[in-house]
Amino acid sequence: MIFMAVSGTIALMIPLALIIFFRRRKGADLISAGIGAAVMILFAFVLESGVHKLVAQSPLHEPIGENFIAYGIYGGVMAALFEEVGRYLAMRFLMKKQWNNPSNALMYGAGHGGIEAIVLLTITMINNLAYSFMINRGMMEGLIQKLPQTAQVQMQEAVQKLIVSPAPVFLLGAVERISAISLQICLSVFVWLAVTRREKKYFILAFGLHFLFDTLAVLVNHWMGTVVTEIILLLAVITVVLLTARLWKRVKRRMSVL
């Protein structure tokens, strides 16, 4: 249970720490983080999820679901399409007043990736802690019996997975979210440059990287397992962060000259 609490807390505190840092040290606007969070909720959790539900009910469900390569490509395309288009539209039309401070790109990324971390990990860990508490006190069986038959099966599978998972595994979620937030900030920088400098190549770069990371996450996990996947993705994200930082410094240097 300790590792669940640690993982959920990390997913909550890192975005908050980044937002405070970008606000106090970089002078970025809080509204940028709010817009980033709102875009993630609307474009990923609502619109993209809606498309996934439609696909699940269509003839495409079987060929995509039964082939992990097709599933990985499909997931990568959908994630990149909805999130990067949403990011572009937000920066192009909702953040014109924030264009004067490039650090708003970083703030946007913190909000965009931060709300994703909170929803996918912090809330999940809170649920897991509640389930663990009930399991340890013998209360879970009574709860399951009150559910509809189909829900009972799903809950029993979730409980069994929770029981057999080694405690340190829950820390992998924190590693994944650290990588994801870092990547989201980098992608926000690229789209920011695409919008403010009107150079399409940066949007294409953001789309391509997003697609690549999401697709590789599925493929590598299938071939090598979760631990190796998170290590590979973390190293890849570190590389992207370093290259993005170099680009960011170069751009800011040019802006200061102008």
Say what the pTM is.
0.92
- For 160-172, what is each residue's pLDDT tens digit? 888 778 878 889 9
- For 19-64, what is each residue's pLDDT tens digit? 999 999 999 999 999 999 999 999 999 999 999 999 999 999 999 9
Give the angle subtended at the CA of 249 by the CAs of 115 and 117, to the nearest 5°.
10
DSSP string for residues in 201-258: HHHHHHHHHHHHHHHHHHHHHHHH-HHHHHHHHHHHHHHHHHHHHHHHHHHHHHHHH-
In Å, how far are 37, 140, 145, 158, 199 from 151, measured between CA atoms? 31, 13, 10, 10, 49
- Domain extents for the chain? 2-257
Give the angle subtended at the CA of 221 by the CAs of 123 and 62, to the nearest 5°.
90
Distance CA 91, CA 84 (A): 10
Q: How do the pLDDT tens digits run along the chain, 258 residues long?
A: 788 999 999 999 999 999 999 999 999 999 999 999 999 999 999 999 999 999 999 999 999 999 999 999 999 999 999 999 999 999 999 999 999 999 999 999 999 999 999 999 999 999 889 888 888 888 777 778 878 877 777 778 877 888 778 878 889 999 999 999 999 999 999 999 999 999 999 999 999 999 999 999 999 999 999 999 999 999 999 999 999 999 988 887 776 544
